[in-house]
A and B are shown apart, each in its own frame.
Chain A
Amino acid sequence: MTNEAWETLSDQAATVCGVVYFLALLSYSAQWASLRKLPADETPQSGQVAVWGRFGLLLTGLGCAVHLVSLVGRGMAADPNRVPWGNMYEFVLSSSFVVVLAFLVFYRKYRLDWLSLWVVGLVWITLMVAMILLHDRVAPLAESLSSPWLVIHVSAAVLATGIFTLGGLVSILFLIKERQEKRIAVREAELVPVGGGGDVAAAQAVPRTGILARVPSSKSLDRLAYRLHAFAFPVWTFAVLIAGPIWAQVAWSRYWGWDAKEVWAFITWVVYAAYLHARVTAGWKGRNAAIVALIGFVTLLFNFIGINYFFGGGSKHSYAEDAPAVVQVISAAELTSQL
């Protein structure tokens, strides 16, 4: 197959992938539209609702496979063949793949059926944005990117970004669920003087309906969000504070130079470190910790999008070209005075 054929295959696969995810989204929407009206502790294992759910999962799996084809095609289309992490489009394609893959891998273990609608929706939107706004042709890498460290550094960054995204999604759900739980608690407390104890018990006994009722308790959401972040944080540490500096030392002669991208990777690291601390600090647990995690996610996104768009020329990490050699010239007299 020629490089052009691979590139076409990749683009077509991405399009098919978008369609499949959209169909999965429709199936899940149909499933949830019906589930919404049922009591939360009653999940039909057969019948229309169950079929929609299974169909959605099947489509998600299929979409994930096509997603992989698109990534592989991207790598094969480059000359020489390489990992598909050469520009923003490829990075988004890869990170969103990690999100779907991680969701499918942990689907059984953490019983993530309640997350399906949100994950597929998020990934579908991300993919659409990537295809419409970020799409770029397969291009040879800038010289300084041609290094084995590209594989090590960027794969870790892609993996961490994907898992942080899932973690952020769960944190948002946590905030919503926690709010709802508080409201319910308040409502029940108000019921006590009016109706007496019997009614409260009755109110609690009646299973609730609605989408939120099917989302696990805020306590389990918090734990799941923590696990995702706790997995992604060391990976991010490796990507930006070990692999990145080693590569920067080899390519740019310094392991840390406060380049705009480095600054924001550091900020992201510090904010997620703050999240891990907040989770064990009195007064910060729960709601505040989740907000810190979401701030971390915003810095992650900003580093990815903001730096490339607003600081493109100023960052050595702009994908397109090597930054021009900066020449700062001073006279010999000044040189000696610096020693």
Chain B
Amino acid sequence: MAAPDLGFVEMMRWAWRQLTSMRTALILLLLLALAAIPGSVVPQSDVDAMRANNWKADHPDLTPIYEKLGLFSVYDSVWFSAIYLLLVVSLVGCILPRLRVYWRGFRAAPPKAPRNLTRLPDSDSYLTDAPTDEVLERAAEVLRKRRFRVVVADGAVSAERGYLREAGNLVFHGALLVVLAGVAMGSLMGYQGGVIVWKDGSFSNNLTQYDDFKAGRFVGVEDLDPFRFTVDDFDVEWIDDPTNPRYGMARKFVAGIRYTEKPGAEEKSYDLRVNHPLSVDGTDVFLIGHGYAPVITVRDGEGEIVSSGPVPFLPEDQATFTSFGVVKASGATPQIGLEGMLYPTYSGDPNNLGSVFGSLGNPLISMQAYVGDLGLASGSQSVYVLDKTNMKLLGGTTENLFRVDLCPAKIDGEENARCETSTVELPDGAGSVTFEDIKPWVRVQISQTPGKMVALGGMIAALAGLLASLFIRPRRMWVRARREDDGSTVVEVAALDRSSGGEVGEEIVEVVAALKGETVKEEL
């Protein structure tokens, strides 16, 4: 495949021919498969940002190298894009000329019969008394009935069938381009965001309300549909039968929500469940997670409330829903921060803090308290991370470890009879913390994916094309009748399979039987 000494134009033509050859396409396909592998091994920032960040923290040496290679976003990387773009070019370069050939071939008559039919690998011949015209007429009829395109010329019948195979092949490859277009539409014009909404909380589709948000290049603020919803209720069923292999698993999540499609519109209600998203005007709302939000009130040294309200804790363990959370009271001087765990069903053993079940059987928070500067002024920070650089741990010695260990006064609005005290004074007169209530929260994913129907339509067309290209068996058949000197007629039948897996022997036998059957009958 060495390039001969050629001018620029020839050189380009040579390169184009190489690129659009089947061998190149094949190698690009295998390369694409190979290139997709790292994305399943290295955590991807777009897929699971938390895992990607944890990985980066665990591998400080490898991270810069991996980042340079784009290994944290393989499917957006230059090299992955290069492979599939080359594949697309190769595909287009392959199907365009084939379209032209197909168009010509589609209109052309079946090719003339080869001179010596019996030399073809699949052929048969027999003798009959019927005149040649009659045999040929009969052959044309038989082949037409078998859905061949038939031409009678020069004492032979030429027939061809299965034109749709190549059409299917072209549709398949063309439809893949449509799928790519649909996917591109989604990533350029779509957006996806997530938000945690606690019971009785509400959300309006507005950028500032999201916890995380990812948008395509062509998405503007005006593209967010102005709907809003309120979470009225959240129901979940816990498997509490200890003999069940899935003991502790939660299922049948239902979030009862009220929503309005646009300001001033009529309010409707909907039961949001997993696998049953709510669709509002092209935007879909999904229920994808749940957890608990303790309602915590922090007072400063003077007894003034400096922070109050539900604080979502993030579940770290799906089996027991042991969750992690942070409270930031920025209004206090000095500022107060709390960091610690929530145990929905506290085991009751103070030496071995833990949750034994995911439901709110006996909730307990166990947190540590800090005072100082929360560092909010220095820029954006996650609400789930406490920046302790300028904070001092209260009662921070091992002998005198101070913990905010509290049960809630209420559970989801109902009095918690088991809880004796739900308030604790902070050391050094820093203030107090009260665990007022605990509410469920749901994590809702909101997304708009334009072009998803284009991609789906393309994929269905591709499948239809694929089926045609795999199962339609194109073949040519010829029947020649020749009058011998002794008055008998020699009939030769031959067939040529034009797919890559068909057998034509059977068809020849059937056609010959059909031809003979008719002539025999006439003789009788």
Question: Chain B residues near A238 (CB, 8 Å)?
Answer: 463
CB contacts under 8 Å to A, within B204-238, are 207-208, 210-215, 219-221
A242-B463, A263-B39, A326-B50 given; A253·B245 CB < 8 A: no
Q: Which residue of chain B has the shortest Cβ distance to A325 in the bound complex?
A: B289
Which of A39-47, A163-171, A270-278 contacts its partner? A270-278
Contact of A326 among B49, B74, B221, B250 (CB under 8 A): B49
A136 at interface (Cβ–Cβ under 8 A)? Answer: yes
A273-B29, A284-B23 given; A255·B207 CB < 8 A: no
CB contacts under 8 Å to A, within B455-486, are 455-456, 459-460, 462-463, 466-467, 470-471
A242-B463, A249-B452, A314-B43 given; A267·B284 CB < 8 A: no
B163 at interface (Cβ–Cβ under 8 A)? Answer: no
A230-B501, A327-B194, A336-B207 given; A258·B47 CB < 8 A: yes
Q: Which residue of chain B has the shortest Cβ distance to A271 in the bound complex?
A: B33
Which of A29-37, A116-124, A142-150, A178-186 contacts its partner? A142-150
A277-B29, A284-B23, A299-B33 given; A254·B249 CB < 8 A: no
Contact of B382 among A241, A251, A329, A336 (CB under 8 A): A329
Contact of A332 among B39, B208, B214 (CB under 8 A): B208
A140-B251, A253-B288, A254-B192 given; A230·B470 CB < 8 A: yes
Contact (Cβ within 8 A) A338 B452: no
Rounded to whole angstroms, the CA-CA distance of A278 and B22 in the bound complex is: 8
CB-defined interface of B176-214 with A at 8 Å, one 1/0 digit per residue?
000000010000000010101000000000011011111
Contact of B212 among A234, A254, A330 (CB under 8 A): A330
Question: Chain B residues near A175 (CB, 8 Å)?
Answer: none
A139-B245, A330-B212 given; A253·B447 CB < 8 A: yes
CB contacts under 8 Å to A, within B252-279, are 252-253, 274-277
A197 at interface (Cβ–Cβ under 8 A)? Answer: no
Q: How far is the CB of A59 from chain B (nearest CB, A)?
A: 32
Q: How far is the CB of A314 from chain B (nearest CB, A)?
A: 6
Contact (Cβ within 8 A) A280 B500: yes
B51 at interface (Cβ–Cβ under 8 A)? Answer: yes
A233 at interface (Cβ–Cβ under 8 A)? Answer: yes
A250 at interface (Cβ–Cβ under 8 A)? Answer: yes
Question: Chain B residues near A328 (CB, 8 Å)?
Answer: 49-50, 194, 211-212
Contact (Cβ within 8 A) B40 A311: yes
Contact of B33 among A147, A257, A274 (CB under 8 A): A274
Q: How far is the CB of A113 from chain B (nearest CB, A)?
A: 19
Contact (Cβ within 8 A) B463 A237: yes
CB contacts under 8 Å to A, within B29-87, are 29-30, 32-33, 36-37, 39-40, 43-44, 46-51, 74-75
B290 at interface (Cβ–Cβ under 8 A)? Answer: yes
Q: Which residue of chain A has the shortest Cβ distance to B25 in the bound complex?
A: A277
Give the size range of A's interface with the partner. 35 or more
Contact (Cβ within 8 A) A263 B40: yes
Contact (Cβ within 8 A) B318 A321: yes
Q: How far is the CB of A286 from chain B (nearest CB, A)?
A: 12
Contact of A234 among B276, B314, B443, B463 (CB under 8 A): B463
Contact (Cβ within 8 A) B219 A339: yes
A237-B466, A274-B30, A278-B26 given; A227·B501 CB < 8 A: yes
A190 at interface (Cβ–Cβ under 8 A)? Answer: no
Rounded to whole angstroms, the CA-CA distance of A292 and B219 in the bound complex is: 42
Question: Chain B residues near A327 (CB, 8 Å)?
Answer: 50, 194, 196, 211-212, 289, 314, 384, 443
Q: Which residue of chain A has the shortest Cβ distance to B21 in the bound complex?
A: A281
Contact (Cβ within 8 A) A254 B449: yes
Q: How far is the CB of B306 from chain A (nearest CB, A)?
A: 21
A280-B22, A281-B26 given; A234·B452 CB < 8 A: no
Name the prevailing secondary structure of the B interface residues: mixed
Question: Chain B residues near A292 (CB, 8 Å)?
Answer: 30
Contact (Cβ within 8 A) B46 A258: yes
Q: How far is the CB of B424 from chain A (nearest CB, A)?
A: 27
Rounded to whole angstroms, the CA-CA distance of A255 and B288 in the bound complex is: 15
Contact (Cβ within 8 A) B245 A260: no
A331 at interface (Cβ–Cβ under 8 A)? Answer: yes
Rounded to whole angstroms, the CA-CA distance of A326 and B49 in the bound complex is: 8
B381 at interface (Cβ–Cβ under 8 A)? Answer: yes
Rounded to whole angstroms, the CA-CA distance of A234 and B460 in the bound complex is: 11
The residue among A142, A279, A326, A327 with the most chain B CB atoms within 10 A of its own CB is A327
Contact (Cβ within 8 A) A330 B382: yes
Q: How far is the CB of A197 from chain B (nearest CB, A)?
A: 24
Q: How far is the CB of B392 from chain A (nearest CB, A)?
A: 25
Contact of B275 among A147, A223, A336 (CB under 8 A): A147
Minimum-distance CB pairs A-B, first 9:
A325-B289, A331-B380, A263-B40, A274-B29, A253-B286, A139-B245, A270-B33, A253-B445, A260-B40
Known: A277-B25, A332-B380. 14 other contacts (CB 8 A): A230-B470, A230-B501, A253-B288, A255-B455, A258-B39, A267-B36, A281-B23, A284-B23, A314-B51, A325-B443, A327-B443, A331-B380, A334-B380, A336-B208
Q: List 20 A-B contacts (CB under 8 A).
A: A140-B249, A230-B470, A230-B501, A251-B286, A254-B447, A255-B449, A255-B456, A274-B29, A278-B26, A280-B500, A281-B26, A282-B23, A299-B33, A311-B40, A314-B43, A321-B318, A326-B50, A334-B380, A338-B213, A338-B214
Residues of B within 8 A of A (CB): 22-23, 25-26, 29-30, 32-33, 36-37, 39-40, 43-44, 46-51, 74-75, 183, 192, 194, 196, 207-208, 210-215, 219-221, 239, 244-246, 249-253, 274-277, 284, 286, 288-291, 314-316, 318-319, 379-384, 443, 445, 447, 449, 452, 455-456, 459-460, 462-463, 466-467, 470-471, 500-501, 503
